[in-house]
Amino acid sequence: MTRYYEDVQPGRELSALDKGPITPAHIMRWSAAVENWHRIHYDQTFAKEHDKLPDILINGSWKQHVLVQLMKDGLGPDGWLWKIQFRYKRMDVAWDALKGNAQVVEKREADGLGFVACRIVLLNQRDEVSTAGVGVGVLPLKGGRTVPYPFVPKPDYPVFALAAD
Amino acid sequence: MDRQENYAKYQGMQGEPQTAAMPLERDTLRRFVQAIMDQDPAYYDEAYAAKTKFDGLTAPPLYPVHAFRLPADVPDPLAVVARDPSADGTAGIMGVSFGLPPIESPYRRLLNGGNEIEFYRSLRVGERAVAQPKYADVTLKEGKSGHMLLVTVETRFTNEAGEPLLLNRQTLIWR
């Protein structure tokens, strides 16, 4: 369903998602899907003894797609995720349960489109920050034009002064 | 004593464009979206996808960074793991520098300093991703426990027709 610029407000949630516990099977499925054979993601003996890690690690490369999904789903099929920036704040290991949240911080109109800046975060089951960042999306205005696709940013589009952490 | 001048040759250095070994296939996309647990029908439902702005099945926005797999005719990258118990399994992987020559430095510990990504278009089924990497910035800094090298790799992704897909700026911290 279309989400319009007028539907989102600073201080409100844009979207949330819950990926639940990420088991060794989930981590292996990701490693296989992208053909990343780094052993810290599936070989527990190697992860603990060679890299001195507490357990096999959830891939940062997987977590970035979760942040993208969080913003994309919040913006809906007629919106566009323009920018995302993020930093990994802690390691997540097998059986950690990750959930994401995007909060609208600021919004502005330009060029007949609505620009929305959000703080985005992934938390573990102890509500510790796994990954934190900022997402900027583009939404149509009610009665306005559609968000162009492909999206070609113009130099005078809004710049939001939000740091990733 | 390390100096900024030691890294001058890397500033702005561009790598060779890298083209994905294969165009995006439906089955590859199916496995990928199952792994990220995103059941957006634009990724698998042809009839639905045809009515969207994508006009057909497309990959998730950030998929192109994972489109670069080993072709079938290269030496087995896991062979080294069987010979060397300390090998980490990453031999042959494209990694984050997308074929840029490694920066020669005394630092051995690598941390991810974060990403900034701009999206323009999604990769469609049947398209092949192309990556054009460059060292956008290489800065030596004095940290609490000695020097660290901040490297920003900026990679432009397009399809083979040169249509922009996304721009990924990744900061690597070497200590």
Q: Which of residues 62-81 of A touch B (CB under 8 A)?
A: 62, 64-66, 68-69, 72-73, 77-78, 80-81
Q: What is the pLDDT of residue B40?
A: 97
Report the gap between the CA of A12 and the closest CA in chain B (Å).
23
Q: Which one of A78, A81, A87 has the shortest CB-CB distance to B119? A: A81
B25 interface with A at CB cutoff 8 Å: no
**Residue pointed to by tokens 């992208």:** A34
pLDDT over threshold 70, residue B86: yes
Q: Is B163 on the interface with A (CB under 8 A)?
A: yes
Average pLDDT over residues B25-52: 97
What is the reported pTM?
0.94
Give the per-residue pLDDT at A165.
60
Residue recorded with tokens 């997308």: B98
Distance from the B43 Cα atom to the nearest Cα atom in chain A, whole angstroms: 12
Confidence class of residue B38 from pLDDT cuts 50, 70 and 90?
very high
**Nearest-CA distance B28 → chain A (Å):** 8
Question: pLDDT value at position B32?
Answer: 98
Q: Nearest residue on chain A to B66, judged by CA atoms?
A: A34
For residue B75, is pLDDT > 80? Answer: yes
Q: Where are the domains of chain B?
A: 4-174
- Taken in order of first residue, the domains within chain A and their CATH numbers are 5-21+60-140 (3.10.129.10)
What is the tens place of the pLDDT at every residue in A61-117?
Answer: 999 999 999 999 999 999 999 999 999 999 999 999 999 999 999 999 999 999 999
Q: Which fold has domain B4-174?
A: Thiol Ester Dehydrase; Chain A (3.10.129)
Is the confidence at residue A119, as pLDDT, over 80? yes
Q: Is B90 on the interface with A (CB under 8 A)?
A: yes
Contact state of B66 with A19 under an 8 Å Cβ cutoff: no
**Model confidence over A32-58: pLDDT tens digits?**
999 998 999 999 999 999 999 999 999
Q: How far apart are the first and last CA of chain A?
A: 31
pLDDT range class, residue A164, cuts 50, 70, 90: low
